[in-house]
Structure formats: structure tokens, C-alpha cells
Amino acid sequence: MEHEPGDWILSKAQQTGTKKIQARMGSPVHRVSLGDTWSTQVHPDIESERYIQSFNVERLINILDGGAQNTALRRKVESIIHSDPEFSLKDNYFMTQNERYEAAVKRKFHLQTIAKRQGWSEGSPELYYSYRTLSGDLAFSIHMVFLKSLKSLGSEEQIAKWAPLCNDFQIIATYAQTELGHGTYLQGLETEATYDAATQEFVVHSPTMTATKWWPGDLGRSATHALVQAQLICSGARQGMHAFIVPIRSLQDHTPLPGVTVGDIGPKMGFHHIDHGFLRLDHVRIPRENMLSRFAQVLPDGTYLKVGSLQINYLSMVVMRVDLLLGEIIPMLQKACVIAIRYSVIRHQSSLRPSGPEVKILDYQTQQHKLLPQLATVYAFHFLASNLLKFFHSSYSAILNRDFSHLPELHALSAGIKALVSDLCLQGTELCRRACGGHGYSKLSGLPSLVSRVTASCTYEGENTVLYLQTARFLVKNYLQVHGSLGSTSQMFLPKSTAYLTTPYQARCPAQKAADFLHAKLYTAAWAHVAARLIKDSAHHLQTLMQSGADWDEAWNQSTVLHLQAAKAHCYYISVKNFTETLDKLENEPAIQQVLKRLCDLYALHSILTNSGDFLHDGFLSGTQVDAVRTAYLNLLLLIRKDAILLTDAFDFMDHCLNSALGCYDGNVYERLFHWAQRSPTNTQGNPAYEKYIKPLLQSWRSKL
Amino acid sequence: MNQDLRREREAASFNPELLTHVLDGSPENTRRRREIENLILNDPDFQHEDLNFLTRSQRYEVAVRKSANMVKKMRDFGIADPEEIMWFKKVHLVNFVEPVGLNYSMFIPTLLNQGTTAQQEKWLLSSKGLQIIGTYAQTEMGHGTHLRGLETTATYDPETQEFILNSPTVTSIKWWPGGLGKTSNHAIVLAQLITKGKCYGLHAFIVPIREIGTHKPLPGITVGDIGPKFGYDEMDNGYLKMDNYRIPRENMLMKYAQVKPDGTYVKPVSNKLTYGTMVFVRSFLVGEAARSLSKACTIAIRYSAVRHQSEIKPGEPEPQILDFQTQQYKLFPLLATAYAFQFVGAYMKETYHRINEDIGHGDLSELPELHALTAGLKAFTSWTTNAAIEACRMACGGHGYSHCSGLPNIYVTFTPTCTFEGENTVMMLQTARFLMKSYDQVHSGKLVCGMVSYLNDLPTQRIQPQQVAVWPTVVDIDSPDSLTEAYKLRAARLVEIAAKNLQNEVIRRESKEVAWNLTSVDLVRASEAHCHYVVVKLFSEKLLKIQDKSIHTVLRNLCLLYCLYGISQKAGDFLQGSIMTESQITQVNQRIKELLTAVRPDAVALVDAFDFKDVTLGSVLGRYDGNVYEHLFEWAKKSPLNKAEVQKNCVFPPFEILHLNIKAERISELTPLRKLWNLLWLFQTLYLSNRFRRELGCSHSTQVFHFLNHLITVGHVHTYTKLEYCNTSLSHTST
């Protein structure tokens, strides 16, 4: 296309715009926007949303960042990243899988260069923020997982040897756990590492087709080394899963080493920039020192020595899950909310009064009902994950010193929360996408990429159903500890997250009217009631089945649907309670506390309404009370509607990072959509299909006439 | 065949062939469908390449080639019946996406519906024979479902007897029409008609957009592709902007409304008929929902029978994941839903044909209800299916995320159904409007008929002092009929609540529209409940028509599962309305688990009965023979990323950097000859790399040498300082 669409669009924007952006340095508008030359004005429809500020957005940004100093640091990093054209993501949507991969590798190396220059070390907040601002569109993320696993599972000598090589990218490493035939169920993995005392080597081998390692990121084309999870066999005995460092590609010319078959697993729904790979090992020999040995080791003569609990293997998974929440999953829903809500104040459709003007679609109750609960949810999850991270840090150092007392609770919490957060983030992101109508289907909206990426999080790092059931196991165990076999209640000490199992049973909710449901204590207690009841039911069901002759395992499988519901309710309770506790700490910020309180209320009431059957079931809520919840909920929608744009602005994503034609800060949706479409290769590269097929088709009929 | 699948098929309690006949409508239909499918599969010209490994441009090209081929083949084979065309397309195109498709599905039908005889004579032959390729341009960037908001104008100029078409704003640019981006040379454009200074609303115009012979956009026309989407890679959805573009007066479709040569506007007699196309498309979409969900269930259930994982009892071999209660709970209700929607789809098709005949006889009485029902059912089935496909995909764990599973494609191809042909929420509200109208009619003493006739019972129930007592609380959870009653009560209750809330808001607010908006969440709920009732009703009525006992038993279980699962999911509605008691809900949950166990042995046979060819499923996980893992490995080897790996010399530029670093790292340890060789290699790679040339800001070889010198002298310095060094030195040299 040769024509320049900018000219006539600009003139149109000048007609409709009312106020110019204050384009002075340092103003928020200037900071976050793409600064397109044709976009000199903020769309009046979005500007009017920012006109009356019921709270200080900047303060909320600081709170979300965990302090003003963090905000400043993040912005510094963002300005460095986005002033560098090498980091531009704008052509992502037009690239093939190969091109995406290539660009991600290039960006990664470029980031390393910048990090070196700026003195950002591995694990520093600066690198964390650069990952955020580049939407993780970088290669070698599993390289970092390798490093983390090494640090938690490796001995001091091993860390000293391998960590510098990794940090300097003298090797590229990956973490190979999942196999073709097995994923979340670790004990089922088939890869074997057999110790050969004669040569003091492990022989690592894939005995079957299904033992082929499948899915590890960075494995397909990049990695030179893999941390392989394999069944350890020494002195003839199987000792379970252990981690081994296996060199897989030549450091000279990158070809696979002898005995190694490695490649890319092909196209996927998302993650096009990552080379997920397969790996088959044919009796590959590695030195004895390559088994990570902080918690277990094999002596030269083949003696197996355990130095810790078996549970420790879970630790690297817990680390991963906790990191994923804030680093990967929650930002997806945040971005989706920003895009969908901003678009919903620009898009006008139909009118609310006959012959009245067309209204913003965000003024429709149904649109608010779609989007605002997602906004509330993502705020709830942000605070939930932040506090889980705190709990994790306090437990982690203890665990490294072999104090495992917090591990069961940490494991159960991280499993259930990961499952709930990824489930609801996926649902929410998809809802946001569809709430943008047809334009949400265009990749230029940014939403399809978010959906296809967040959806992976429901199955990776533990399939969600399996994770809920792990939490349920912990809950049933706790319940039985307190209540013995049946009935009798003992005052056992319970972990903080399950302490509510000992609180006295409340038969009815005391609420009288809609306004009563805006009390945090009231709805937290309601969720506690439902969670406790479902845990009780599932435990009793299990016991009943066992009393009628089933063994534990059979009984467990026959009651898993109940356990699933119980675990979900528990996670809802935890998230609601956590949100209310976060609010309590915001006493010094009354305006922000008020607006967040509304979101907390909305989150809690929305979750009650979508699960109303559980609340009505034993008469805890009456039908009238559920109606009152609905009334309170609908009223909240109107209140939050007023602050919706500011609440999304508070996530403080730069336009570069959103990479969405619908979601930019300035609201110039349609102009941007038109501009971006022009860049599509389908427009820039002619139409070979015309000469090849369309023309002959048109002419074949003409010749017959 | 995979041993697990063989065992599953042998253990089935019924013959899937008989069920296939039920789904197709008759054994004869099944026979003819397979005949057509085999025509394609046995055709040497039919070659189905795996689209997953192609770029978007390549996929478009393949689709155009297939479309062209298909037009020829259907003539050769004499396939003209719409049903048969659909079967043909299903195998030939695999997913119905064809750039030339709009010519047949929208351009020609609109011409037939709205064109005069003279216009049909002029355009029909050439469009049917593909002398011209047409598309249908309605949606604009700023407006979709709300038609009256469209901004494109067609202003009549009596002097030249032409219409002047304009896209006055950015938002008025036509956006999304399929086949518009690259393929079509004509479009039926919907525009606001302005004549004698007055706007008469939307009318359709035939607009030539590309020059015959060269395919170049005509002067005044800006046209192109709207860029990459979630799915529909093969389709060139396009944009169209018109600047004072003139077309002759005769290009306005004038069967109903007319503009006389002097510019006088003649009003149409009735506009109800324009509903026709919409109703047809929406009822087709209900069937499409059923087909997509059936495909997804086939893949997920077959794979779940092949995959083994974990243990139920310690020490025993790993069970099929289909034996886990949670997996059954995920998949079997969806399987039941797929069957429910199959029957709803068949019902919609029949009803459409029946009512279409009535319309042919001038009887429009049933059209409003059909219109309302298709709108709601389109929304209900597409929302459910959308979530269900995604659930099937996730039930396949990680492998579901790979394109090898076929599920991502099914999902992205299906999901626009929720927003196109009427955005779902708007559709639900249209149904709600009909429900409210019917409610008001009943209220004013008139009887209503059809699917909403249950509303007739409401006034008598309201007279009772204790509303609760009149609900027949004895719901037999083992009887589809009794469960249908329960759903009916739920629908009646939610319609009544919405109606009352609406009335209250109307009293409080100054405008009906504001009141409507403030009740819309309730209204959507009411519509959903109504549609849910219709689906349950049609499923249980279908059971009465099944003769074969074994088929009846298995379908009855599925019907019960569908009804009970819905109750369990919406337990709040049933409890709150006192339609069911708490203990009944507990029984429902218990019964669901029993049904899961009952369906389990027949699960594979039930998906086999959908009778999808492997090529239509396009899934390694869902293969009929179940040899999943072997083929997964073979499939992955086709990936373009692996092809590049085979040719060692063609490493990607980023690895040039990487290996450059590794090599440079050791360069001081190398022999002089090796050093020289490396130097030449580096020189060659760098010199040839466009990217490096660009970064150097020049293509002059001395500067490349300069850069290489640095590399060698600092060979043992840290990798990244080098890269950085080279970047800074580059910026020096370029200034």
C-alpha cells in the first residue's frame, strides 16, 4: 500500500479532540504512550474518565509496586528498555514462529549487554522489571529455572562450578522433566540414570518412546545442557527421581552430542518465541558429579545416601509456582483488563434513550458485569500472590536449613492458589477478549496472544485438577486431625490457613439487608462456612466409602469431585480473607482504601453469586439473602464504573508493553488499528495467490462464455 | 490399532453405526454423506497438507487453491444440495474457512433476496460462475451488531444518476468482511442512503472494488487485509474505505426499496423478510456449535483412553486417565452437551425449513419466535461450546496446547461465533425482549404459544398465597420429563423476576431504555434459563423417537447427565426457587457420579458415533487408531524449526552471535591456521549478515575488519563486554 493514511486521520483527530496532551517530560501521559507522531491528542472519551479522580492514582501505583522507590526503579528500567529500538515488540504479530524465536534470542542477548552495562545482576529487581516490561518475550527463561533448581538442589561445589558458566552464558541450560507420556505425575517418569561404579558414571537413557522428554523450553534448538529428571538406579535399586546435568549439544558447533536426539516439538497455541523441545538419550554417560546432591548423593562405590526429606523435590516446583503468579499469570489478566476497559469507553454502541447519543459500551450493565468482576479479581490476586510470596520467603530460608515444618502448608497453598489464579485468569482474559467483540479476535488487540499464553498456565507447572487435589489432601488431613474420625473435636494446632476449621459452626448468615453484605467480616465468614462444610462433606464421604469396604485409594478416587469443590472453596476463602486483611493495612490511605474496599466487596459478592448453590445448600443463605447479595453486587458495579479507567491506569503498563491497538493510553483505537493493519505482510507483500489461482479461475469461466 | 481403544470398542454396549444413523437423520443420509466424503478422499487432486507448519500467507494461498479446486469438483460431482455442499466442504476444507466462501454464503443470497429480476439477471450468472467474486461488507470499524449506527453513506446524485459512496470517518471504514482483503473484486456494501437531502437508513449496494484483469483497487477505493487474527489464518478479512466513489443507480439492490432516477425514494412494503438470512445463518451456527464440540470431545475422550497416568491403587499398573473420576467429570457432561446440541441443531434446521415454507406462502406468524429463539440459542450454544472446547483442550494436559492436538485450531475457529452474526449478549437481550413481550401478553390476558407457552401458567400461580407450595416439589431426578419440568419452572421464575425488576425500574427511571439497561443482567439470566430449558426439552423429546433399545439406554443416560449436571452447576437457581430441596441437590450430585460410571464403558463408542474422519479432526491425539505417541514424534519432526537444524550451515543469526562468542573465547588457544580459518569464517558470516551490515551503518568491508580486529585482540575478555564493546565501537564508527 503506497498511500499515507496518517494525513487524513490526523485531521480527523484534530477535529474531535479537545485538549492537548501536556507533553512535558516526566508527565505520566508522555511516559506511557507510544508517542505516535499522528497521535497528538488523548481521545476526549478517555480523557473525561480521568478528569475527576476520587483517589490518587500515583499512590495506588506505589502500593501495587510495594513502595514509591520500587515505582521509580521500575520506571527507570522501563525508560531504558523502551528507548532502545532493539527491544521493540511491535512487529511480533506479523512474525512466523522462526522469526519470533530469533527475535527473542536476540533480545535476550541484547538485554544481557544492557544489564552488564547498567550493573543489573541476576535476580535483581531491575531484571525482574525488564522481564515484565518486555512481557517475558525473551528466550532462555528456562535457563533461569535451571539456575534456580541448581541453587536449591545442588551442593555448594556444584553451584560454584555451574552457576558462573550459566551466568556468563558459556552454556545454555534447560530443565527437562516432562515426558511424552508423563507430566504432573512425577513418579511415572521413565527416563533412567543407572550408576556404573566401574567408571563412576551415570548412564542416562530413554527406555521407551513415551520416555522422550517433551515440552522443556529452550531445549528445541538452544540448550547445550539439560537438567534431566530421571529415575536413579544404583546398586540395583530404584531410588526415585533425581536431577542430572547432561551435556546435549557441542559447545563447538552446537550439533547434538553422540547418543542425543534433540529437536523442536512444533507449533503451539502460544509461546511462539520459545523453542520447546524433545530429547531422547541413548545410554549417554555423564560423570558422577553431575547428579545434584544437596539432599541425596551416590558415593563412588554406588552407595545411596539421603540427606533430606523426599518432599524436597517439590521445592523447586513450589519456587516455580510462586514466581509464576506475579511474574507471568496475573499480569496477563491485568493487561486484558486494561485493554478491554479502555476500549469500552471508546467504543460507542446504540443509545440508552430514544434519539439520544450512542453511549460508551462500558455504561451497559452487561458490559460492567463482564469486565468489572475481572478487575476486582485481578486486584484480589495481586495482593494474594504478594502475600504468598512473603510467606514463601519466610519459609524458604528455613527449608534450606532443613527445617521442613512449613513445607506442607506452603506446598498446599501454592498448589491451590496457582490453580485458582490460573483458572480465573484464563476465564477472565478470555472474557475480556470476547467483551471487545470482533476486534478482540484480531491479534492487533493483543488479547488473543494473552489468552493463548495464559491458558498454558492451567496445565504447566502442575495440571490444575491435580493441584487442587493436592490441596484437598492437605485439607482432609487437617480436618481429620482436628475432628478425629467422626464428630469429636480436639483442639489441635492447625496452620494459619486452615485455622478456620476449628471455629464454631454458624448455621445461618445474620445479614438482614443488601448493605449488610458489604461487611468484610460477614462475607469472609460466609466463605469460611462454605469451605469448612465442603471439606467436612468430602472427608465424611471418604470415610463412609472406606467404612463400606473400599480401601483408601479407591475411596479417594470415588470422592475426588467433592475434594475438588472443597479445595476451590478453600482457595476462594483464602483469597477473600487476604484481600480484606490487605485493606486493613491501608488505614493511612482512606481514599484508596475506599476504592479497593469496593473491589474487595465486588470480588467476594461475585464469587458468592457464581457459587450461590453452595451457600443456599444448607440454608446458610436464604433465597432472600441471595437476592440481597445480587442487589448489593449490581450497586457496586455502578460505583466502580466511575473509577474503572483510573483503576486500570494504576497497573501502569506502558503502551509498548501492552502492545495493543485497542488498549493504548491515548484511546486512539481506530486510527491505530488502521495504521497497524497496514504493516501486515499480507498488505506489504502483494498477492501471489491472485496470479496463481484467482486469475485462472476468473478466466476459465470467461473463456467458456 | 491401539490395544486400549480396541478394548474400549469391544466393550461398548451398543453399535455406534446405529447411533450415527440417528445423528445423520437416517441410514440413507449416512450413506450419502460417506459417499461424498469418499469422493474427496479417493480423489488424487485432494491432498491435505498440514496447515500448522505454514505461514499465514501460505495458508491463504492453500485456501484459495482449495476453493478454486472445490468449485470445479462440486460441478463435476453434481453436488448442489446445501446439506451435501456442507458435507463436501467439511472434508475438503476441513474447517469451512474459504476466502471465496462469502461469494456463495452472502453475496449471492443477498442478491437473490434483495435484488430485482433485472439485477439478478445482470449479476447472478457472473457471480455464480465466478466471473466476479463478491463479498458482503456490513461491519465497520466502529459498529457491528448495532446496524443503525453504521456510518458509510451513499448519496444520490440525480444529475449523473449515480450514488456517491463515502467513508466519512475512521470508524466508518468497513472492517472484517471475509474475502475482502485480497480475493474479491466486488462487494455488497451496506450504507446509509441519502437522497434529496434526507437519510433513509441502511440499504445495500453492489460496489466494484478491484479492476477486472489486473485486480488492482479501483480509483477511490482503499482496500486491504486487516492483519493477523486469533484464528482464520486462511481468510483475508479486509477493510474498505471509499472516497467519493461513484456507482450507477442500478447498483442499489431495489427489490424492496427504490430510488427513482429523479431521486425520489420509494419505501419497501415489509422489512420482516430481511430477517430470513440472519435466522438461517444463526440456526446454522447452532449446528456448527454441535459439530465443533463433538470434534473436541472425540479427541479428548480417545486420548484419555490411550493415556495412562499415576495410580489409583499403589502398586497396580497406571490406569487410563479416563478412569479418574475427575477426568470423567470434566469430559462426560461435555459429551452429553455435544449430543444435546446435535439434536438442537437438527431441530433448528427442520424448523427453519418448515417456517421458510410458511413464509413462501406468506405466513409470517412464526417468524418472531423463531427469530428470538435462534438468537438466544446461538448465544447459549456458542458460549457453552466455547468454554467446553477449551475444557476438552485442557483435559489433554500439555499436549492439548500443541497444535498437534488439533484443539487449538478448533477453538480459534469456533470462538468468533460468540461475537459474529450478532454479539452474544445482544442476542440474549433480543430473546429477552421477546420473553418480556410474551410475559406482558400473558399478563394482559392473552395466551402465548410455542416454546414460551409455560408463561401462560404464571398468573394462576401468582394468585396462590404461598408461591412455594404450587411448585411441584416432587422432581423425579431419574425422569427426563420431570427434569424438563424443573427447568421449565426455573425459566418461568427467572423470566418473572426479570419482568418484575424491569417494571420496578421503569417506575423509578425516566426512560424505559435506562430501566432496560439496569435490568439487563437479570434479562440475560432469564434468556439463558429459557434456552437451557429448550435444550433440555428437545433432548428429552428426542428420546421418545429412538426405537433401538441399546441406543435408547445410552442416550437416556446422557440426557440425564446433561440435565443433572446443569442443575448441579446452577444449584442456586433451583434451591432459591424452591424447585428442588437441599437433599435433592445432594441426590443429584450423587446420581451424577453414578452416571459417570454408567457412561464410562460406552465413552469411546459414543464419540466414534460422531463418525469424524481423521483428516477432519486434524489431530494426532484423536486418531481413530489411537497410535498417539509414535505419530506425535513424527509430526514434530515436520516443524520448520527442525528443518533448519538439519542444514548445519544455515544457523540463525542469534546463534552466529552465540558461537561467535564461544569461538572468540577460545581464540587465543588456537593454532595460527585455525585462527585464520576462524577469522575468515567470522568475516564471511558477518559480512553476509544483513543485520550486522545495518548495525554497522555501512557495508564497507574495512569497518568489518575493524570490528574483527577488536574481537581478536580482546578475545579473552568477557563475552558481553565484547558485544557491548562492539555496539559502542559501531556507534562510533557510524558517526
Q: What is the pLDDT of residues A231-276, one digit of tens each?
A: 999 988 999 999 999 999 998 889 999 999 999 999 999 999 999 9
Interface of B with A in 612-651 (CB under 8 A): 629-630, 632-633, 635-642, 644-645, 648, 651
Tally of CA atoms within 13 A in the half-sphere of B149 that contains its CB:
20
Nearest CA-CA partner of B173 in B233, B221, B127? B221
**Which residues in chain B touch residue A702, judged by CB atoms under 8 angstroms apart?**
131
Is pLDDT of A597 > 70? yes
Interface of B with A in 275-304 (CB under 8 A): none
Residues in chain B: 735
Which of B169, B323, B635 is opposite residue A12, by nearest beta carbon? Answer: B169
For B90-127, the DSSP string reads: HHHTSS---TTHHIIIIIHHHHHHH--HHHHHHHHHHH
> Which residues are CB-contacts of B106 (< 8 A; sequence separation ≥ 6)?
B134, B135, B136, B188, B277
CA distance B248 to B234: 33
CA distance B712 to B709: 5
Side chain identity at residue B110, one-letter code: T
Closest approach of B246 to chain A, Cα-based (Å):
20
Closest approach of B227 to chain A, Cα-based (Å):
5
- Whether B142 has its CB under 8 Å from any CB of chain A: the answer is yes
CA distance A501 to B60: 59
Which of A263, A364, A554 is opposite residue B642, by nearest beta carbon? Answer: A263
CA distance B355 to B639: 50
Bridge partner residues of A20 (DSSP): A41
**Which residues in chain A touch residue B585, judged by CB atoms under 8 angstroms apart?**
613, 617
- Nearest residue in A to B581, CA atom: A617
Which of A209, A251, A365 is opposite residue B521, by nearest beta carbon? Answer: A365
B325, exposed or middle or buried, with CB in 10 Å at 0-12, 13-18, 19+? buried
CA distance B450 to B678: 83
- Whether B597 has its CB under 8 Å from any CB of chain A: the answer is no
Helix (H) or strand (E) holding B711: helix B701-713
Q: Which of B421, B485, B496, B528 is catalytic?
A: B421
Contact check, Cβ <8 Å, B390/A626: no
pLDDT at B421 (0 to 100) = 82
% chain A with pLDDT above 90: 67
**A472 with B454: CB under 8 angstroms?**
no
Chain B contact probe: residue of A16, A107, A113, A271 with most B CBs at under 10 A: A113
CA distance B583 to B580: 8
Which of A185, A459, A616 is opposite residue B400, by nearest beta carbon? Answer: A459
Tally of CA atoms within 13 A in the half-sphere of A110 that contains its CB:
22
CA distance A676 to A170: 39
**A629 with A605: CB under 8 angstroms?**
yes
How would residue A481 be classed by pLDDT, with cut points 50, 70 and 90?
Answer: confident
Helix (H) or strand (E) holding B195: strand B186-195
Dihedral through CA A618, CA A622, CA A627, CA A633, nearest 10? -60
Closest approach of B362 to chain A, Cα-based (Å):
32
Query: How many Cβ contacts (< 8 angstroms) between chains A and B?
Result: 389
Which of B56, B131, B228 is opposite residue A702, by nearest beta carbon? Answer: B131
How would residue A286 be classed by pLDDT, with cut points 50, 70 and 90?
Answer: very high
How would residue A350 be classed by pLDDT, with cut points 50, 70 and 90?
Answer: confident
- Considering only the C-alpha atoms of chain B, give the largest distance between any 2 of them, rounded to a whole number of Å: 105
- Nearest residue in A to B419, CA atom: A437
| Arithmetic mean of pLDDT, A645-672 | 95
**B450 with B366: CB under 8 angstroms?**
yes
**Which residues in chain A touch residue B397, judged by CB atoms under 8 angstroms apart?**
183-184, 459, 463
Q: How far is residue B454 CA from its own chain's centroid?
A: 32
Q: How many other β-carbons are positioned within 10 Å of the β-carbon of residue B705?
A: 14
- Whether B68 has its CB under 8 Å from any CB of chain A: the answer is yes
Which of A352, A670, A678 is opposite residue B513, by nearest beta carbon? Answer: A352
Bridge partner residues of B193 (DSSP): B154
Chain A contact probe: residue of B633, B716, B730 with most A CBs at under 10 A: B633
**B431 with B375: CB under 8 angstroms?**
yes
Which of A188, A268, A674 is opposite residue B403, by nearest beta carbon? Answer: A268
- Whether B402 has its CB under 8 Å from any CB of chain A: the answer is yes
Contact check, Cβ <8 Å, A185/B576: no
> Is residue A119 helix, strand or coil?
coil
CA distance B653 to B694: 13
Radius of gyration of chain B (CA): 31
**A231 with A193: CB under 8 angstroms?**
yes
Which of A94, A557, A612 is opposite residue B325, by nearest beta carbon? Answer: A557
- Whether B147 has its CB under 8 Å from any CB of chain A: the answer is no
Contact check, Cβ <8 Å, B636/A265: yes
DSSP at A245:
E
| Arithmetic mean of pLDDT, A51-68 | 94
Q: Which domains does chain B have, with CATH numbers?
A: 101-268 (2.40.110.10), 436-610 (1.20.140.10), 659-724 (no CATH)
Intervals of chain B under pLDDT 70: 94-96, 270-277, 460-473, 644-735
Residues in chain A: 705
Q: How far is residue B483 CA from its own chain's centroid?
A: 31
- Nearest residue in A to B172, CA atom: A670
Chain B contact probe: residue of A253, A465, A608, A627 with most B CBs at under 10 A: A465
- Nearest residue in A to B231, CA atom: A441
Terminus-to-terminus CA distance in chain B, angstroms? 68
**Which residues in chain A touch residue B171, judged by CB atoms under 8 angstroms apart?**
670
CA distance A331 to A337: 10
**B398 with A464: CB under 8 angstroms?**
no
Lay out the sheet containing B238-242: strands in order across.
B174-175, B238-242, B221-225
How would residue A55 be classed by pLDDT, with cut points 50, 70 and 90?
Answer: very high
Side chain identity at residue B725, one-letter code: Y
For A344-357, the DSSP string reads: HHH-EEEESSTTPP
% chain A with pLDDT above 70: 92
Cell of B596: 459417570
**A414 with A476: CB under 8 angstroms?**
no
Contact check, Cβ <8 Å, A682/B61: no
pLDDT at A534 (0 to 100) = 96
**A155 with A308: CB under 8 angstroms?**
no
pLDDT at B715 (0 to 100) = 42
Q: How many other β-carbons are positioned within 10 Å of the β-carbon of residue B669?
A: 10
Contact check, Cβ <8 Å, B639/A264: yes
**A653 with A338: CB under 8 angstroms?**
yes
How would residue A295 be classed by pLDDT, with cut points 50, 70 and 90?
Answer: confident
Bridge partner residues of B428 (DSSP): none
Contact check, Cβ <8 Å, B593/A558: yes
B458, exposed or middle or buried, with CB in 10 Å at 0-12, 13-18, 19+? middle
Helix (H) or strand (E) holding A72: helix A68-82
Stronger pLDDT, A672 or B99, i.e. the higher one: A672
Is B139 part of any known ligand binding site?
yes
Q: Which residues of A are catalytic?
A: 461
Dihedral through CA B314, CA B319, CA B325, CA B331, nearest 10? 160
List b or e across B675-696, with b for residues whose CB sees 16 or more CB atoms inside 10 angstroms: eeebbeebeebbeebeebbebb
**ipTM confidence score:** 0.87
**Which residues in chain A touch residue B309, judged by CB atoms under 8 angstroms apart?**
182-183, 185, 188
**Which residues in chain B touch residue A626, judged by CB atoms under 8 angstroms apart?**
572, 576
**Which residues in chain A touch residue B692, judged by CB atoms under 8 angstroms apart?**
none
**A612 with A621: CB under 8 angstroms?**
yes
Contact check, Cβ <8 Å, B68/A693: yes
Is B178 part of any known ligand binding site?
yes
Chain A contact probe: residue of B306, B641, B689, B692 with most A CBs at under 10 A: B641
Side chain identity at residue B215, one-letter code: H
Helix (H) or strand (E) holding B207: strand B198-208
CA distance A607 to A613: 11
CA distance B561 to B540: 12
**B265 with B401: CB under 8 angstroms?**
no
| Distance (Å) of CA A270 to CA A128, A141, B713 | 22, 15, 43
